[in-house]
Amino acid sequence: MLVARRIDEEAIALQRQGALPGYAPSKGQEAAQVGSAAALDPTRDFAFPTYRDLGAAVAMGVDLVGYLSTHLGTWHGGMYDPVASRFAPFNAVVGGPVTHAVGWAMGAKLDGTGGAAITYFGDGASSQGDVHEAMNFAGVYRLPVVFFCQNNGWAISVPTDRQVAGGSVAKRAEGYGIEGVRVDGNDVRAVYEATRQALRSGEPVVIEAMTYRMGPHSTSDDPGRYRSLAEEQAWAERDPLRRAARELTETELNEAEAHADEVTRQVREGLLALGDRPGEELFDFVYREPTTALLEQKRAWKEASDV
């Protein structure tokens, strides 16, 4: 959790310095992400993240330089192996990873591997039609997929009570004939246990982790325009890192700080050392068999770039 917090802070700093074009902070949601991802069995389960799930990537051991390279647009889906890490390329389409996870879960059920999918999305994304269709499909076919909603209170600048009818994403599960669980998203142990049980059930489950986005929606957002300082301060008292730190000794905390600082240094240096990818890759990985039009575009690009 501390590694995720430090890298999150570093990514914001890199964006302010012009090294990253944009970034979606995850401060405050570390317990929800780390606790849920830690419950996965990396030999058989698979995660489908959004653009705000750095903590899940850290917990699953994803190469973090490769992960953050997605923000640079240097590669299609990030420069890490999603199959080896069991962590799909993160999806910037609101609600996008939910249907992908359901498709994977259908395959897992047909294969009889016993694995389960977990898909991350926010309270705002829960209002997307894709999420409804995915939950309905999973309910009909009894697919092994955990719909993990991080209810962080805000769909960009719109509060949850203005865009989630009924006020609870977990309660919607009943309409699809599946189990719905609401958990304290700032309690990493509670999140881990709820996710572990859901994954091992072999059934579709909706988990609504109640947490808070302590930072802006993105580095181009100003949360001070739509929420109060009093609200932010109240949630700061419930910071998941401060909560988890109470269970550790001073020695353990010092070791965690030193480890997080070292990992952050390595990630920063690795990210800044990345060079431009070969321009040909803009064309080489569009289709399995390139079209005539694409080959013509590649030829024109090479002629222009050689001038």
Active site residues: 213, 217, 226
Cα–Cα distance measured from residue 11 to residue 7, given in angstroms and rounded to the nearest whole number: 6
Pairing of strands 117-122, 46-48: parallel
Cα–Cα distance measured from residue 212 to residue 32, given in angstroms and rounded to the nearest whole number: 10
Cα–Cα distance measured from residue 254 to residue 268, given in angstroms and rounded to the nearest whole number: 21
Contact 149, 207 (CB under 8 A): yes
Contact 24, 47 (CB under 8 A): no
Burial of 274 (0-12, 13-18, 19+ CB in 10 A): middle
List helix spans (H) across 144-291.
Answer: 188-201, 229-236, 240-245, 250-272, 281-284
54's enclosing H/E stretch is: helix 54-59
Q: Where are the beta strands (DSSP E) in the chain?
A: 46-48, 117-122, 145-151, 154-155, 158-159, 179-184, 205-210
Token representation of residue 263: 């990992």
Phi, psi of 216 (to 5 degrees): -75, 165
Q: Say how far residue 29 (Cα) sits from the centre of its chain.
A: 10
Instruction: Give 37's Cβ-side CA count (13 Å radius).
Output: 27
